[in-house]
């Protein structure tokens, strides 16, 4: 008997019987969501604002079934939508580090925005980062937990934390597309470089991964010198990965977040609403199957 077979026999003796799949069959939907991770190494560049308002725009204006996953332990998605999230759902940390074989679908909750579901605030998500590091295959936990979930949605938007830790890594491995917000500051630009390096590394685990684009956010219309300097730098470094749509500074955006309502529910005619609606249009076009 070859060594290989011996090992297999020994393995069966230890684990008992042939390797089996213990997870029960789940009902599957008919969709196959595009998973968009919104990620940036730096905080305060508009990740959450972009996640929330892109998700809301896709649900409101494009009739898409959208799930917004709050992967940031700070729970800012829930702050930003506090008036629109319906009570319910469960803890994403149970999905990521629990033993019950939960899917993300098991913890989602609907919002008052039709077709938009979210994962609710989870106070335990902060400890998940460390718990994940001891798991074998830790990079694949979220991707696996979206396997059935994604058959019920057209788009899944993941709001990642502002670092390149295990949670963000899970977001990137689960993603088909990465949307990278960047505000006009040199630190943010250098953060884009770190993230792009990380995405190159992740491509070995997730050959599907693609960059949807670098999104200029919080663009101050009055500070044209800085804007053009940063825009030129981004164009040199990232070429046409820099999106043609940009998000201007607009106080309604911050006010909407404070009020706990997406920008379209708060100030539908504002510049911020127009900008995010244009971004959603761009994304729908960019992701449309070319035939
Ligand atoms: N276009 C914008 N105009 C004005 N304020 C903005 C804009 N985008 C984001 N903000 C504000 O900037 C802060 C950081 O944005 P946020 O989306 O939470 O960043 P991140 O998730 O990257 O940390 C928030 O207070 C938000 O309201
Ligand atoms: Mg955030």
- 5 or 136, higher pLDDT: 136
Task: Kindly tell me if the per-residue pLDDT of 200 is higher than 80.
Answer: yes
Most confident range (mean pLDDT) of 12-21, 69-78, 230-239 is 69-78
The CA–CA distances, whole Å, from 255 to 154, 247, 261 equal 29, 16, 9
pLDDT digits (tens, 9 = 90+) for 67-125: 999 999 999 999 999 999 999 999 999 999 999 999 999 999 999 999 999 999 999 99
pLDDT digits (tens, 9 = 90+) for 171-189: 999 999 999 999 998 899 9
Mode of pairing for the β-strands spanning 34-38 and 116-118:
unpaired
Residue 190 lies in a domain: yes
Measure the CA–CA gap between 175 and 173, rounded to whole angstroms. Answer: 6
Task: Give the ligand at the shortest distance from the Cα of 43.
Answer: 1
Measure the CA–CA gap between 151 and 153, rounded to whole angstroms. Answer: 6
Domain that holds residue 197: 30-287
Count of domains for the chain: 1
Residue 16 lies in a domain: no
- The pick from 37, 46, 220, 252 for probing ligand 1's pocket by mutation, whose C-beta has the most ligand atoms within 8 angstroms, reads 46
The phi, psi pair for 179, rounded to 5°, reads -105, 125
Average per-residue pLDDT in the chain?
A: 93
Residue 24 lies in a domain: no
Count CB neighbours of 215 within 10 A: 25
Residue 5 lies in a domain: no
Predicted pLDDT at 23:
59
Measure the CA–CA gap between 145 and 222, rounded to whole angstroms. Answer: 45
Domain of residue 218, CATH code: 3.40.50.300
Residue 3 lies in a domain: no
Residue 131 lies in a domain: yes
Residue 17 lies in a domain: no
- The pick from 40, 41, 48, 49 for probing ligand 1's pocket by mutation, whose C-beta has the most ligand atoms within 8 angstroms, reads 49
Q: Which ligand 1 atom is nearest residue 258's CA?
A: 27
Measure the CA–CA gap between 260 and 78, rounded to whole angstroms. Answer: 8
Confidence of residue 29 (pLDDT cuts 50, 70, 90): very high
Residue 9 lies in a domain: no
Predicted pLDDT at 20:
53
0.75 surpassed by pTM: yes
Predicted pLDDT at 226:
84
Predicted pLDDT at 1:
55
């Amino acid at each position: 008997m070859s060594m290989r077979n011996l090992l297999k026999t020994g393995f069966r003796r230890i684990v008992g019987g042939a390797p089996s799949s213990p997870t029960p069959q789940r009902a599957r939907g008919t969709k196959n969501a595009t998973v968009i991770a919104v990620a940036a190494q730096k905080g305060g560049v508009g990740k959450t604002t972009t996640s929330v308002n892109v998700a809301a725009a896709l649900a409101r204006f494009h009739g898409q079934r959208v799930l917004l996953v709050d992967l940031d332990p700070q729970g800012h998605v829930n702050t930003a939508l506090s008036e629109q999230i319906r009570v319910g759902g469960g803890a994403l940390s149970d999905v990521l580090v629990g033993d019950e074989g939960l899917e993300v679908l098991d913890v989602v909750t609907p919002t008052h925005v039709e077709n938009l579901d979210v994962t609710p605030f989870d106070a335990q998500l902060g400890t998940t980062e460390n718990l994940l590091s001891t798991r074998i295959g830790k990079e694949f936990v979220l991707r696996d937990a979206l396997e059935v979930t994604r058959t019920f949605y057209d788009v899944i938007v993941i709001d990642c934390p502002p670092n390149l830790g295990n949670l963000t890594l899970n977001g990137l491995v689960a993603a088909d597309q990465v949307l990278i917000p960047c505000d006009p500051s040199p630190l943010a630009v250098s953060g884009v470089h770190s993230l792009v390096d990380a995405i190159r590394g992740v491509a070995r685990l997730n050959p599907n991964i693609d960059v949807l684009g670098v999104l200029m956010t919080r663009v101050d219309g009055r500070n044209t010198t800085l804007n053009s300097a940063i825009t030129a730098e981004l164009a040199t470094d990232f070429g046409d990965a820099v999106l043609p749509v940009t998000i201007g500074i607009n106080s309604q955006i911050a006010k909407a977040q404070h009020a706990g309502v997406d920008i379209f529910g708060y100030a539908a005619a504002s510049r911020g609403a127009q900008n995010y609606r244009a971004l959603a249009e761009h994304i729908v076009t960019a992701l449309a199957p070319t035939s």
